[in-house]
Amino acid sequence: MPRLKVLDHHVYYETGGQGPPVVLLHHATATLQNWQKQIPLLHELGYTTLAYDRHGFGRSDPLPAWTLDYHEEGVNELIALLDALGWDQVALVGHSDGATISLMTAARHPDRVGAIVAEAPHMWIRGLDVASGFDTFRKTVDASPRFHRAMQRVHGPQAQQVLRRWYERWLDPAFRDWDVSADLPRVQCPVLVLHGEHDIFFPYSHSQAIAAQLPSAVVELIPDAGHVPHRENRPLFERYLRQFLLQHWPPPPI
């Protein structure tokens, strides 16, 4: 079982393929298995992939609660993992929290990130009604026994802890002032921002505002998709993914 000690915990990861490295970062209730449909595509396109369960998810070590700076801790974990594997510069494909961590990493370690696909990113909360999205989620997805069976399958004994930790952090009044948008102008690499038309957590205008603050970015709205376009409208997501990576990673020669 591929587990690696990074910082103060062990991380479960999987690699495959051959070619320029692409790292996939999952969202706040997922594991690396969330990318199982995209990994074969990336191998076909000629990339090496690294997907991993972040601290507190899946087969990585447990993490009972998140601090207010848990995204920054995700950045530190990613850099430590790349260092442990001896990977210098990579492209990042991140979803939701994974997209946020990707953008923050590129801002703080610009020499380590060559391109980013940021799916449903978020960089601030102020003025946004995220509580309504969580309420909708509780009444729909969280009410489904199928969802909880899936959580149990991928997270094992951590399943309920993962869900509780997510709710507690995002609905905590102390988190309402969270804002890392100052990182955005420091992102030097090209970025593709993707947003589902029916995202219940963040409006399309949020992704547009993020892209507007990035030096080199395009933003695309994906119809017939909510917060998880890479599963809800997989063909269109993968078309954008393919076109962007083949154009920007590795960087074209000067």
Q: What is the CATH number of the domain that holds 13?
A: 3.40.50.1820
pLDDT on residue 206? 98
- What is the predicted pLDDT for the residue at 101? 98
Q: What is the pLDDT of residue 1?
A: 57
Evaluate whether residue 254 is within a structural domain: no
d(CA 189, CA 186): 9
pLDDT value of residue 254: 65
What pLDDT is recorded for position 251?
A: 86
Query: Does the residue 100 lie in any domain?
Result: yes
Residue with tokens 């946004």: 128
Positive or negative torsion for Cα 126, 128, 129, 130 = negative
The proportion of the chain whose per-residue pLDDT surpasses 70, expressed as a percent, equals: 99
Is 66 part of a structural domain of the chain? yes
Is 90 part of any domain? yes
Q: Tell me what pLDDT residue 126 has.
A: 85
Q: Is the dihedral of CA 210, 166, 196, 11 positive or negative?
A: positive
Tell me, yes or no, whether 141 lies in a domain: yes
Residues in the chain with pLDDT values less than 70 = 1, 254
Q: What is the pLDDT of residue 253?
A: 75
Question: Is residue 253 included in any domain, yes or no?
Answer: no
User: How many domains are contained in the chain?
Assistant: 1
Range of the domain at 47: 3-248
Residues 6+ apart with CB under 8 A from 39: 16, 17, 24, 49, 51
Helix axes 145-155, 159-170, angle to 10 degrees: 110
- Whether residue 105 lies inside any domain: the answer is yes
Does 103 map to a domain?
A: yes
